[in-house]
Structure 1
Amino acid sequence: MKLTVLGGRGAWPTADAACSGYLVEHDGHRLLLDPGYAVMPQLLRHLRPEDVDAVVVTHGHPDHCADLNPLLRARALADRPAPALPVYAPAGALDAVLALDRPGMLHGSYELRAFDPATEPEFTSGPFRVGTRALPHHVPNAGLRLTAAGRVLAYTGDTGPTPALAELADAADLFLAEATYPEEVPEEDAPYLSSARQAGEHATRAGAERLLLTHLWPGGDEAAAIAAARRGFGGDVGVARPGTVVELGAD
């Protein structure tokens, strides 16, 4: 299983980093997770729009799904339109982004497969078994657990602290964890977002092998985030930067 980071900033993109966006590949199947702001140009560095096999969105905030629109446009308006793209998301999460164009413009370009992470704990996409967990955020959010060939990638989307994270990332080869702030989350957001320190603590409880911090606040101090996570986690810690590649299972 191969992860390529397309973007990893929260809220809005910066000049050198898109918002959340991750390409996960195995056995020729290409799964795009959370195509947020400015992810599309980064995606095009790696593959053509028609080469994406499926999209999975954790929740409906635009920094996690806005660039689904240009991806679908590129597929629908091509000289040879691509087949309908399977798009998995919590029910209602994509209503706004799918309403950006006139009715019918994207007809046939996608097949929306809504799911409820609280009641539908698993689906499959190509070789991937995708487990889901309902995690606390300002809007319904699905944590994802991707399994293929015995390897596990766990991804939080955006989440507040919850015991469900230890289950989501149980013995994961890679834990891709939201860490908007290094040490402390402001009180008003504390139930809905996480810090790097908390991400490290959750990785330890889960027994994850490796931790990759993502969704850092634009302009945030990456070194401070890594240091905070290391106070709670003794394994390998990094930050999700555009172009970062992780081969799960590689020697």
Structure 2
Amino acid sequence: MRLVPLGVGDAFSERWYSTSFAIESEGALILVDCPHPIRKMLREARETSGLDLRLERVSAVVLTHLHADHASGLEGYGYFSHFALGKKARVAAHPAVIARAWDGHLAAGMERLETASGLRAMRFDDYFEHVALDTTRVVSIGPFEIECRGTHHHVPTTALRIRAGGRSLGLSADTSFDPKLIAWLAQADLVVHETNLGTHTPYESLAALDAALRAKMRLVHFPDSFDLAASNIECLEQGRAYEV
């Protein structure tokens, strides 16, 4: 399983794209979160990593929550799939995460299409296929086995554990510091955890974790002011391919 951070920054970054990931295993490709401009992000990561990262190959976007820095590319993903690929865009998300995706996020730009016979009313299901994630069971998408767990955040948000190719990856998503969540993530071979200001996870809390856990942890979602060189936990590089 290979992980490529498409972005490593926060919602306000001038240096990096918003935190999101491409994950590849056994010829299959999924994304975790989908900020705008997702196709440009994939192209740049393709050039950096050497991997064939194209939206045409994506079998699903696994959505952690609806904040714009993680979900602003859903409209483009839906339209590209509808018009260019002639199929529905698959979105895997917990029902609480996806509940307001249409009425609260996408409908303003997608609820009507101009046709030869006039405006056509559109719904979420006209563009998207929803795969429901569940906190009580594993959900499979191709070779990927996905588990989710709620985090502490402003809107419904899920952390993820993803297994494929005999390896496992833990992704914190956006969260405040939560030792129980970290223990859940720590069962994975590689843990990617956010760090930021405010209601996010303070770097100092992660830096105080056991050395063995820090050795398999990587940081993302940091502010532009974060001192990468001073961190005692490795920070992921945007566009670089990592073997999990």
Q: Distance in 2 between matches of 1:109 and 1:99?
A: 11
From the superposition, tell whether residues 121 and 179 of structure 1 become closer, same or farther in structure 2 (CA, over 3 Å). farther
Q: Distance in 1 between matches of 2:162 and 2:110?
A: 34
Residues 29-70 of structure 1, C-alpha deviation per residue, up to 9 Å, x if partnerless? 101001124443111343332211111011111111111221
Q: Where does 1:98-177 land on structure 2 (aligned, <5 Å)?
A: 98-103=106-111, 104=122, 108-115=126-133, 117=135, 120-177=136-193
Q: Distance in 1 between matches of 2:107 and 2:41?
A: 24
Q: Distance in 2 between matches of 1:68 and 1:31?
A: 14
Q: Secondary structure at the match of 2:147?
A: strand
Q: Is the Cα–Cα contact under 8 Å of residues 82 and 89 in structure 2 kept in the other structure?
A: no
Residues 111-146 of structure 1, C-alpha deviation per residue, up to 9 Å, x if partnerless? 0234454xx443111111111111111111101001
Tell me the C-alpha RMSD between the 2 structures.
2.4
Given candidates 198, 217, 226, the residue that maps to 2:205 is 198
Q: Secondary structure at the match of 1:19?
A: coil
Q: Is the Cα–Cα contact under 8 Å of residues 8 and 20 in structure 1 kept in the other structure?
A: yes
Q: Is the Cα–Cα contact under 8 Å of residues 174 and 209 in structure 1 kept in the other structure?
A: no
Q: Distance in 2 between matches of 1:121 and 1:163?
A: 22
Given candidates 216, 219, 229, the residue that maps to 2:222 is 216
Given candidates 93, 105, 108, the residue that maps to 1:89 is 93
RCO (CA 8 Å, sep 6+): is it higher in 1 or 2? 2
Aligned to 1:43: 42
From the superposition, tell whether residues 214 and 84 of structure 1 become closer, same or farther in structure 2 (CA, over 3 Å). same
Given candidates 233, 240, 243, the residue that maps to 2:239 is 243
Q: Is the Cα–Cα contact under 8 Å of residues 213 and 240 in structure 1 kept in the other structure?
A: yes
Q: Secondary structure at the match of 1:199?
A: helix
Q: Distance in 1 between matches of 2:34 and 2:162?
A: 17
Could you list the runs of 5+ residues in structure 2 that have no partner in the other structure? 47-52, 112-121
Residues 67-103 of structure 1, C-alpha deviation per residue, up to 9 Å, x if partnerless? 122122222121x42x323201233252333224232
Q: Is the Cα–Cα contact under 8 Å of residues 20 and 39 in structure 1 kept in the other structure?
A: no
Q: Secondary structure at the match of 2:192?
A: strand
Q: Where does 1:58-73 land on structure 2 (aligned, <5 Å)?
A: 58-73=64-79
Aligned length: 223
From the superposition, tell whether residues 208 and 123 of structure 1 become closer, same or farther in structure 2 (CA, over 3 Å). farther
Aligned to 2:31: 32
From the superposition, tell whether residues 31 and 208 of structure 1 become closer, same or farther in structure 2 (CA, over 3 Å). farther
Q: Distance in 1 between matches of 2:191 and 2:207?
A: 10
How far residue 209 of structure 1 moved from its aligned partner, in angstroms, is: 4.8
Q: Secondary structure at the match of 2:177?
A: coil
Which structure is higher in helix share?
A: 2
Percent identity for Structure 1 against Structure 2? 28
Residues 198-238 of structure 1, C-alpha deviation per residue, up to 9 Å, x if partnerless? 23445x388465221111123433234x1xxx2xxxxxx32
From the superposition, tell whether residues 36 and 205 of structure 1 become closer, same or farther in structure 2 (CA, over 3 Å). farther
**What TM-score do you get using the length of structure 1 for normalisation?**
0.79
